[in-house]
Amino acid sequence: MTRPDRTMADSLAERLSGLDLPGRLHLIAAEIPGRLVFTTSLGVEDQALTHGLAMAGLAKGRVEIVTLDTGRLFPEAYDTWAETESAYGIRIAAYAPERGAVEAFVRQEGINGFRRSVAARQACCGFRKVEPLGRALDGASGWLTGLRAGQSANRAETPLAAFDPARGLIKLNPLADWSRAQVDSFVRENFIPYNVLHDRGFPSIGCAPCTRAVKLGEPERAGRWWWEQEEKKECGLHVGRPAASIQPGQEPAIFESNPDVKTRQPEFAR
């Protein structure tokens, strides 16, 4: 079997650019040999992609759909998970953090110890997300995500396909060039199940204690780890070096409680 490499990824990115979503998904399934894994956060982009995979006949077998159950998700995320499985007749496999890592962190740092420093938060994301992701992608040739270039400055250069040398696979972002308005319209028009928190000012949804509604005029991901400086706000899943690069004492002051925010009108309510 031909192993994925940079040449394959670059060629695929070019060919994907002129296709619609079904065409992109069929090309990915045809061109990448071996195991394909889609990691869904159950957010609106990932719900759109789940629908696309189901309609293309790829959600049962060819593409494995998995999610990272961190143990700190909003109840609404679990409701979306169940509704999605029912709507499409699929199972979304769960990858959870190792019990020992969770217990050790809470014992040492406290239940919300990730707010003490950026390094502690990155450590929490490490055992709750990055390590389970490694297990989910073990042996995979292709990794599908719902990343879009418009989600944040950190993601502005998101390609449709790129070789991930650290994992030895091709990372595929079929919605990379979609706008948020396109995603919302696609979900509305196709009656796709979505997390009701999107209607309450949460354009990006992660773990419950690390996500708030956004203020008027803020970027989509401003509600994620809102107490940190903007350039440090990734969990490690979609960056080249997931290990903590900021030591305790170097991070900005943190706020223990969510500020009162005036949320913008969500796309779905317009």
125 is in an annotated binding site: yes
The number of angstroms, rounded, from the C-alpha of 208 to the middle of its chain's C-alpha atoms is: 15
Q: Which amino acid is at 75?
A: P
Helix, strand, coil percentages for the chain (3-state, nearest 5): 40, 10, 45
Cβ contacts of 33 within 8 Å, gap of 6 or more: 1, 2, 141
124 is in an annotated binding site: yes
Q: Are 10 and 16 in contact, with CB atoms under 8 Å apart?
A: no
Q: Are 44 and 151 in contact, with CB atoms under 8 Å apart?
A: no
235 is catalytic: yes
**Secondary structure of 76-144 in the HEC alphabet?**
HHHHHHHHHHHHHCCCCEEECCCHHHHHHHHHHHCCCHHHCCHHHHHHHHHHHHHHHHHHHCCCEEEEE
The whole-angstrom separation of Cα 33 and Cα 108 is 44
Q: DSSP per residue over 186-223, as a string?
A: HHHHTT----GGGGGT-SS--BGGGB-PPBTT--TTTT
CA distances for 260 relative to 175, 212, 255, angstroms: 32, 10, 12
68 is in an annotated binding site: no
* 66, 175, 176, 235: the active-site residue: 235
| Residue 224: exposure state from Cβ atoms within 10 A (0-12, 13-18, ≥19) | buried
Residue numbers belonging to the annotated binding site: 124-125, 207, 210
Residue numbers belonging to the annotated binding site for [4Fe-4S] cluster: 124-125, 207, 210
Residues annotated as catalytic (active site), given as ranges? 235
